[in-house]
């Protein structure tokens, strides 16, 4: 390092700063994904591990590469997998909508408080993370079950005559997912709203704009990056959610997370399960790359 010039030292420092995260992602994401992609091109077998190798030796000593693409044909032709994908995408989209409707006012409220109150309010938003996600989902069973808190309160008030069926259905799944992912929407929104120039809102009001017009023309465009970031942070994990549908959903609840679990652990069909996982990643990465390309193109002068 002593023999290097200052310019080379700075270049080496920049390279290390970039290389370490890439190595981390390569070891913990790319390498496992390539292994799963390899398994998706094999066929199931009664063995350990339960799939055929892609590369084998023929009787004449030649190296043979065998790729099975039938797994991909299966998941795009079998209605079970298509319904699972559609159900997961629908639940994730609905979760994004409700977390945005609930999270935007909450983030706006926190961002407009005095500086001394913002940290305690953000702490309250992040407080659920101090408890296991599994325990929090179990708590919703006690709230939503026929003799739970909600039904008990409604029966006591005389609003209903018999308990509502609000557990073991898609309604309970949405409630659990909105509750679980709400902080992922609030925090990015707060980060952008907190940096917003509030004098722009005052100027719009002084020029005669109504509150809703100020929100639509000024606040919403300035908060758009936070909305996009929060929506992605909610949508991506929500698509593959398994715990909430398994605990709060009914027997007819079909999601891609439950499908992966059944294929891996019940059917022990690792190739089909890997195919489902690879297709899910492709389904999520494609729109993300398109969005990034659009944002990069829009940012060019």
Is a pLDDT exceeding 90 seen at residue 12?
A: no
Span 125-166, pLDDT tens digits: 888 888 888 899 999 999 999 888 999 999 998 888 888 888
Instruction: Give domain limits for the chain.
Output: 78-268
Residue 248 near residue 168 (C-beta atoms within 8 A): yes
Residue 295 — pLDDT band, cuts 50, 70, 90? low
How far from the centroid of its chain's Cα atoms is residue 94's Cα?
12
Mean pLDDT of all residues belonging to the chain: 86
Q: What is the pLDDT of residues 245-264, one digit of tens each?
A: 999 987 778 899 889 998 88
Task: Give Cβ neighbours of residue 128 (< 8 Å, ≥ 6 apart).
Answer: 136, 183
Chain centre to alpha carbon of residue 35: 22
Q: Is 76 or 93 the better-scoring residue by pLDDT?
A: 93
Q: Provide the pLDDT for residue 20.
A: 85
User: CA separation (Å) from 78 to 31, 167, 218, 256?
Assistant: 29, 29, 47, 13
Locate the DSSP E strands across the chain.
Answer: 55-57, 63-65
In this structure, are residues 81 and 259 in contact, taking their beta carbons and an 8 Å threshold? yes
pTM of the complete model: 0.85
Q: Among 6-15, 145-154, 168-177, which is the least confidently predicted range?
A: 6-15
Q: What is the CA radius of gyration of the chain?
A: 25
Residue 164 · residue 200 · CB < 8 Å: no
Q: What is the DSSP code (8-state) at residue 130?
A: G
> For 215-238, what is each residue's pLDDT tens digit?
888 888 888 888 988 998 999 899
What CATH number is given for 78-268 in this structure? 1.10.3720.10
Residue 259: which of 84, 79, 92 has the closest Cα? 84
Residue 5 in this model has a pLDDT that exceeds 70:
no
| Cα dihedral 236→239→244→248 (10° resolution) | 150
């Amino acid at each position: 390092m002593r023999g290097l010039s200052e310019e080379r030292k700075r270049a080496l420092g920049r390279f290390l700063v970039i290389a370490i995260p890439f190595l981390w992602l390569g070891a913990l994401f790319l390498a496992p994904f390539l292994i799963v992609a390899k398994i998706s091109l094999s066929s199931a077998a009664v063995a350990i591990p339960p799939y055929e190798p892609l590369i084998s030796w023929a009787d004449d000593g030649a190296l043979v590469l065998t790729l099975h693409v039938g797994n991909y044909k299966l998941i795009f032709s079998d209605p079970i997998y298509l319904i699972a994908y559609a159900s997961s995408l629908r639940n994730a989209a609905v979760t994004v909508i409700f977390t945005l409707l609930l999270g935007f006012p909450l983030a706006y409220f926190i961002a407009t408080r005095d500086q001394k109150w913002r940290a305690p309010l953000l702490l309250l938003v992040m407080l659920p993370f101090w408890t296991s996600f599994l325990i929090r989902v179990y708590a919703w069973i006690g709230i939503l079950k026929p003799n739970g808190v909600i039904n008990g309160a409604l029966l006591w008030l005389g609003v209903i005559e018999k308990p509502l069926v609000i557990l073991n259905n898609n309604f309970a799944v949405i409630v659990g997912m909105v509750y679980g992912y709400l902080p992922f929407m609030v925090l990015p929104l707060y980060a952008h709203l907190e940096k917003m120039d509030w004098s722009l809102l005052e100027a719009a009001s002084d020029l005669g704009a109504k509150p809703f017009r100020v929100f639509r023309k000024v606040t919403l465009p300035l908060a758009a990056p936070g909305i996009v970031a929060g929506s992605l942070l909610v949508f991506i994990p929500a698509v593959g959610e398994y715990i909430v549908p398994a605990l709060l959903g009914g027997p007819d609840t079909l999601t891609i997370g439950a499908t992966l679990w059944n294929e891996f652990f019940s059917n022990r069909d690792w190739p089909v399960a890997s195919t489902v996982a690879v297709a899910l990643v492709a389904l999520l990465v494609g729109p993300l790359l398109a969005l990034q390309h659009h944002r990069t193109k829009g940012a060019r002068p």
